[in-house]
Structure 1
Amino acid sequence: MRVLIPVDPSRAHLFPIVPIASALRNAGHEVRLASWEGFCDTISATGLTPVALAEGTTLSPHLAPGAPEPRHPDESERYADILGITDFELRDQWHVFYQQLLVPVGNSLRADRPETDDLIEFARSWRPDLVIWDFTQPAGAVAARVCGAASARMPPGRDNFGWGLEQLAAHREELIAAGLDDNPLATLVRPVAERYGVEVDDELLVGQWTIDIYPEGMGLPTSLKKVPMRWVPFNGSDAFPKWLHEPAERPRIAYCLGESTRRFIKGDWDRTPILLEALSGLDVEVVATLNDVQLDGAPVPANVRAVDWLPLSNVMSSCSALIHHGGGGTYAAAAAVGIPQLVCDTEESILLRIAEEEDAPETGTFRTEKEHGVQDVSDARKPTPWIMPAKKMEATPCSNYVIDRGAGIRLNHRAFTVEDLRKQISAVLTEKSYQDGARVVHEEWKAMPLPAEVVPVLEKLTAENRKATR
């Protein structure tokens, strides 16, 4: 069969889907990954075949002028009140859906960009049997409907969309009475769907099934049809460095803050300098995948090797622990080898706040249309400064999952001193209970089906759900 996979132009969204795309290809299926033209080299480096959208454009959608802003925090809070979400952590998951994840959706569906039309026209000509779409790329669902293909979603993280839509549906009348949009995702998708004569219904917004790569206890509850799959860590195919060939003389710790914020959050808030200072007082060797934007001039101790980018799979087998930001792919890298995890997390809300221009700090603030080292924004069209909480949007669910299984701890740099953090790191390295907990996480990870085992399930579901005949 033919499988089309529209993907957001970022490694954080590409890497989780590489294992199933490769498994489908290795099973003899034709697989194409569609994304912005400037991202195609990154896709090619995975060994998969890209389809270039928006050929000849010079800017990624998220950098092009007019990129959508996050929704206002007061509006997000008002929704949460009407939805009756009082639990702090669940309320944060609503803010993730409404403020953060609707932004890339809006980017992917922009009327002034050619990506959507290019994708749908390719689907019409190539006629895939199955479209697996990144949940920030709902144009993939429209493309599937247009050509009669089966339609599946694959969230590269927690399914905030599926969960959020169910919250909205349960309170539809209250939202309408309050003058609020009862389905903001449908509102974003509708112009594209109507242009192609496609009805906006539940299936269009959530697919016919969802490939779920989060283990039980880390994801969000939904009533959607799910196909569970093990998150096999893929984080690039860079050359294995010579210095990693030799065994570590001291306990080795990997320190990784993921791919996303390194592009637009200068200085990593105040986290990296504090953690580096804590690590400097320990008899350990640290491999830190930190670029210049994240370091922002912070001194690097003698026992820390800072490298701009290094696939974690090259490092994990020689490490005793992993310090990370709570991202799913980084969690999976540690789960795959069964080592303890120290998750950087704070107790603050994930809600994005608008900074007063004169008070906007350089570190911890981002603007749409801006990426450090790629593009700044002019004063004439300077977008709103948004202050991000000093944590990844999945950090708290990830840290809770790890802690509940005794596999690690939460590193809260906002609540503890350098000495406190040093003691926490040392305890994870020396106390046997954390190794025992890490084995529990590893066994739960290993119990989920491999991508190759999921392929026959996808073949069966595709045969049952596709409408096209070739």
Structure 2
Amino acid sequence: MRILFAVAPLTAHLYPSIPLAWALQSAGHEVRVASNTGLVEQITAAGLTAVGLGESTSPPAPITEGQLDRFSDALGFEAGSDFDRLWRATRYYLAAAYTRYHPDEEGRQELADNLVETARNWQPDLVVWDPACPVGSVAARECGAASARMLWGPDYFGWVRRRLIERMNDPASGVSADTDPLAAILAPVFGRFGHDFSEELLFGDFTVDPIPSQLPRPQGLRRIPMRWVPYTGAGSVPQWLSRPPSRPRVCLSLGVTGRTVQEGRDARVTAAFEAVAGMDIEVIATVNADQLGKDTRVPDNVRIVDYLPLTQVMPTCSAVIHHGGFGTFFAAATHQVPQMIVKEDLGSALNSTRYLEARGAGVVLHSDGLSAAEVGKQLSRLLTEPSFQEGALAVHADIMAAPGPCEIVPILERLATQYRSRD
């Protein structure tokens, strides 16, 4: 069987799919992973065959504030409600994800064109696509392949769609198929290949879902649960890391993707460094020069590493301080490490923090007004109070309850046979 993975050009979207690609490849299937050419090195470093779709770095088609406001009005959440907060934290991201593959003024879109052409030429039996790469669904349709979404975090896309359908079914809402903002945004992506917007194109035939069942998700979609197996990049283990730590080790990581969003010194790094100075611990800070800043004093007990796969360092850690991204969250959770999330109003953090607190597996601080004193106080709790380790064990048990990637391969084989078609 041939399986094509289609991934938006972000490592945070690529890495969660790699263990499933490994499982399918190890079962004897031909696997290729298609994305922006900038991810080819990361794909091949994981031992997978890459398909570079192009160097296109043009920004997504612009979505005006007026369009976003109309989208917000269509969703109709009560101002200040939890759902309203979640939407406002994710709306720019969702708009960018849905419009990344829009055609330009001349009707061209390099990444979309090359992905669809790859599918037509290679004729995969199954296309596994990133929700932030909706043209992956079109590629599956164009070659008659079974179509599977592959989540890398909470199903924001399904959540938004289910809310819009609910509103369109309510005559009092004023939202109808004619005013459907999601259909309007995706129409250029689907339409340029001759397809109308539809629920089938939006969601595919089924969804591979690696998020623990304890987290909320929209209902009504066919889901294949899968255990999250953390992959955080390839690299050799440094000599110093091969030796067991002589005192509690804490990892500080603010994510790889965030480096491309935030410029200049990160106040969270400064607060953390002030907090740990003088503590009898060892800190591994995976931050780069921009996040560190020119004038930040690095305490003697802090080791700066520009990049280190978290799967290498996490097994040696007693705690982790991070931004709430799901890649970091699951790397820590899989190794039963208590966590401190210093969150901003970002989508993944809004979900991971609630789950973390509900399980008692860590503490949550907000980046606004963050103080070194509070970081130090909460970090001391993580390292000394047994309840946090018990909570980390509970989260680990939640993760392990789902079938692993190798276990769902036979399911995907059956579904690919069921849904694929040939003219």
TM over 0.5: yes
Distance 1:42 1:392 in 2: 25
1:200 CA displacement: 2.2
Alignment of 1:435 with 2:365, yes or no, is no
- Indicate conservation of the 8 Å contact 1:344/1:391, yes or no: no
Deviating more after overlay: 4-13 vs 217-226: 217-226
RMSD: 2.2
Distance 1:394 1:459, change over 3 A: same
2:277 counterpart residue number:
280
1:151 counterpart residue number:
147
The amino acid across from 1:436 in the alignment is E
The amino acid across from 2:145 in the alignment is A
2:10 counterpart residue number:
10
2:99 counterpart residue number:
106
Structure 2 portions without partners, runs of 5+? none
Distance 1:335 1:222 in 2: 26
1:455 CA displacement: 0.9
1:109 CA displacement: 3.2
Deviating more after overlay: 283-292 vs 408-417: 408-417
1:147 CA displacement: 1.0
1:419 CA displacement: 1.5
- Indicate conservation of the 8 Å contact 2:60/2:101, yes or no: no
Deviating more after overlay: 90-99 vs 145-154: 90-99
Distance 2:261 2:280 in 1: 33
1:182 CA displacement: 4.0
- Indicate conservation of the 8 Å contact 1:326/1:394, yes or no: yes
1:145 CA displacement: 0.8
**3-state SS of 2:347 partner:** coil
Distance 1:180 1:221 in 2: 20
Q: What are the Cα deviations for residues 75-108 of structure 1, in whole angstroms up to 9, with x where unaligned?
A: 5455445534236332133234532122033123
What is the percentage of aligned positions where both structures have the same residue?
A: 41
Distance 1:81 1:191, change over 3 A: closer
Distance 1:232 1:268, change over 3 A: farther
Q: What are the Cα deviations for residues 126-178 of structure 1, in whole angstroms up to 9, with x where unaligned?
A: 11110010011111111111111100101221110011011111112669947
2:322 counterpart residue number:
324
Alignment of 1:454 with 2:371, yes or no, is no
- Indicate conservation of the 8 Å contact 1:102/1:185, yes or no: no
2:181 counterpart residue number:
184
Alignment of 1:141 with 2:137, yes or no, is yes
Distance 1:236 1:305 in 2: 20
Distance 1:178 1:402, change over 3 A: closer
Distance 2:70 2:192 in 1: 32
Deviating more after overlay: 267-276 vs 422-431: 267-276
Distance 1:179 1:126, change over 3 A: closer
Which structure has more helix as a fraction of its residues?
A: 2
Structure 1 portions without partners, runs of 5+? 346-389
2:75 counterpart residue number:
83
- Equivalent pairs counted in the alignment come to 417
1:25 CA displacement: 0.5
Distance 2:202 2:300 in 1: 51
2:354 counterpart residue number:
400
Deviating more after overlay: 288-297 vs 19-28: 288-297
Distance 2:228 2:41 in 1: 23
2:372 counterpart residue number:
418
- Indicate conservation of the 8 Å contact 1:413/1:421, yes or no: no
1:68 to 61, 80, 83: 61
Alignment of 1:130 with 2:122, yes or no, is no
**3-state SS of 2:231 partner:** coil
**3-state SS of 1:315 partner:** helix
Alignment of 1:22 with 2:16, yes or no, is no
Deviating more after overlay: 110-119 vs 227-236: 110-119
- Indicate conservation of the 8 Å contact 1:255/1:322, yes or no: yes
Distance 2:342 2:334 in 1: 19
1:315 counterpart residue number:
313
TM-score, normalised on structure 1?
A: 0.83
The amino acid across from 1:152 in the alignment is A
Distance 1:75 1:194 in 2: 20
2:302 to 299, 304, 321: 304
**3-state SS of 1:394 partner:** helix
